[in-house]
Structure 1
Amino acid sequence: MPQAGHATSPADTPGRQTLSAAQEAARMDAVRRYDILDTPPDGAFDRVATMAARLFKVPVASVTIVDEDRIWFKAAHGLEGVNEISREPGLCGSAILSDETLVIPDTLTDPVAFNNGLVAGPMGVRFYAAAPIITGDGHRLGTVNILDTRPRLITEDDTATLADLAAIVRDELEMRLAALNALRAEQERRREQEEARQRAEQDKNAIEAFASTLQRTLLPPALPVVPGLELACHYATASPQNVGGDFYDVFPLDGARWAFFLGDVCGKGPEAAALTSLTRYTLRAAALIDPDPDVVLTSLNTALLLDPAIGSRFCTAVFGVLEPHEKEGF
């Protein structure tokens, strides 16, 4: 003979237990973690609702998620056009208060359910049974429930079957969450890669801009115009990110003579730039004191040997003095 199998008996617990504020807050955190509320219909959940209606031969079955102030239907069989109802005690709102399946054989005799809108309203629900959807960490997200407009009894095997359907929904939610987490992780990885690419591009541009600026400080912006002489130059670095060690310059010594030098220091980068700067300014300073090429290059060699930062680096340079003549050349 069928028995009303349920852990929460309407007759034994008239007011039913309630969740504490802390328990409800933790439960809602779990609901949000699964990111299921207000999502489009899903065939897997729809099949569970349809299966429940067919197994128990009831007109209405649904998969619900209990939100803060509403019962949201993830799937519903026999409730066309209904997406949510208010969170009233008695039915789904009471079914998440316990880990056991809630069975109400006759809602009109239940001290809590009789006043629920689904019972007192046009739908006239008289029978209700719901198994809570329980997460692995013990939070009850919602229910798989069956409803009828006439009182009825179900067996303990029936309540176990309803609990199995709720477990199927839980497993589906877990798989969905795992897929969402994998997708989010991939999106985060791509976002980090894109940010890293943008930073690398910015760093590259900054390095190139720095190298270009530094390179310009090591070379004259333009050669001077010297009557009686035709001067020209062209310089291109091997890499926009590295400062080259090449250098040249033309500068006046006095009213009639001009000095020039051309050279290269070994290596590239900041160390080469430092050596190039030392070489250029040493050549200029030495030439203004005594423009004799032998004296100038000897002064440069001495300066390089005395600087411990130079190490084994070396420089190759040509230095000369030009004295133009308008008629005879130089």
Structure 2
Amino acid sequence: MRGMWFMAAVMASSWVGTEARAQAQDDWESPVALRGERYLPYGQPIPPEEAIDAPPQPYDEAVHGPAHPNTQPQVNEVSRNRARLPERARKPRPDGQIPDIFPGSGDRGFWIWSGQGVFAANDVQTDLVIPDNAIGTTIYAPTHMPAGNACVETVTAHWRYSGMATTAHAHGFWDHCGLDGATGWQNFEDMDAAWKSKYARVYDGEERYFTEAYKDGNGCWHGLMYNFNLGIWEEKVSPAICGSSTFATGWTMWESHHLMDQAQVCPTFPRIRASGLQLMTSSFAWVTLDASNTSDLGPYGLCWTNGAYNFQVNVANSDWTALTP
């Protein structure tokens, strides 16, 4: 009877009535919902043209059941042997900048010091253009890496290299463990119209997508995207990557490679925001990023240190916007 009422409430809302949607959400007794936080009812599709007024709940297998298999493995550019995927430099940071690990040469965000998973809402920003005088640039923004010797990072990529007439945009999951002999991209998909129709919706006035990387109870790392056409979480890293990397520290940030190496230009880019940031604890609970589990990352790179670019923290430290400028 409860299930019938829930479906009726969702249908009656037509996804536009905030009050009706909140009522349906209240009836879905997940641990998070019972604490008073409101998320999208799970399993309910949302049309591409419709904005959302609440995020999906971070994936929890105990609540949501198994994640859905990847719905579009045929578009994975790794398996399609795309000529050149975006790259990241492996140049160590200067002495005294700890942790001495990549990301890149022009970064701003937060180090994540605990947990074993990360959840985020990210701006898509496929209108970002790398100009002719910055060809060779890679921008990963937003990008998120869990703490806890994680294997999987969830990455938004914008890049333009020699021979490319325009800037390319994609989302991928990066393997930091290389347990299959292929450290690098495990899943990499162009953020084209078909991708957006599944994974992006307008939220807080911007096209945004929701992603997660986490470690399960067997020590295996997963990469997920929320599929709005199905209304469920979708597994993109399959099979999961089991093991540990050398990176005890994670991060959430705006990252660039080669843009600020010469420091000749600081191009104007659309502002990029990441919000709703949460980390998964060792007991598989989700908690908000704050000053107790994060610290400042950067500023690294001239465009950040000279004030051309600025970093706005909207909610410490779970909601940030890179102002460029």
Q: Structure 1 length normalisation: TM-score? A: 0.21
Question: Is the strand fraction higher in 1 or 2?
Answer: 2
Q: Which has the higher helix share?
A: 1
Higher relative contact order (CA 8 A, sep 6+): 2
Specify the structure having the higher radius of gyration (Cα): 1
